[in-house]
Amino acid sequence: MGQFGEFFKQRRLALGASLRQFCLEHGLDPGNISKLERGRLAPPQHDKLEEYARLLGLQEGSDDWYRFFDLAAAEAGRIPRDIMSDAEAVGKLPILFRTLRGEKIPDEQLDEIVRKVKGA
């Protein structure tokens, strides 16, 4: 089971709803939601994710809201929409990717990061 599916399932269970009950209440296909929760179906695109987030009682802008969307993006191999709309953040993605691969970041870029963290 993927992390997104597990998170989805835990949120549904926190509402006290069985899979069938949740789907019946919201007009969803139990087979598709079951596949989603088991990681057999990729997380949907943004608009459908928003619908699911609201049905799961996630408050827009909350940590759980962002976690839901971040897990969905990661599992689907996408970069979260809010990050892609931030040109400065997109410009920093190559540094993140290199770091995740264990590659050395050039000293100039590392110095710039340190200055920004320190607020200089």
Joined together, the tokens standing for residue 60 give: 């827009």
Number of compact structural domains in the chain: 2
Q: Model pTM?
A: 0.76
pLDDT, one tens digit per residue, over 96-111 is: 777 778 878 778 877 7
Give the residue, 34 or 89, on which the prediction is more confident.
34
Same domain, 61 and 9: yes
CA distances from 50 to 3, 43, 61, 86, 91 (A): 18, 11, 12, 20, 26
Same domain, 7 and 48: yes
Predicted local distance difference test score (pLDDT) of residue 13 = 97
pLDDT, one tens digit per residue, over 58-67 is: 999 999 999 9
Same domain, 59 and 76: yes
> What is the domain-level CATH number for residue 77?
1.10.260.40
Same domain, 94 and 63: no
Q: Can you give the residue range of the structural domain that contains 52?
A: 3-81
Same domain, 7 and 57: yes
> Looking at the predicted structure, is the pLDDT value of residue 120 above 60?
no
Predicted local distance difference test score (pLDDT) of residue 87 = 83
Predicted local distance difference test score (pLDDT) of residue 7 = 97
Same domain, 68 and 96: no
Predicted local distance difference test score (pLDDT) of residue 118 = 73
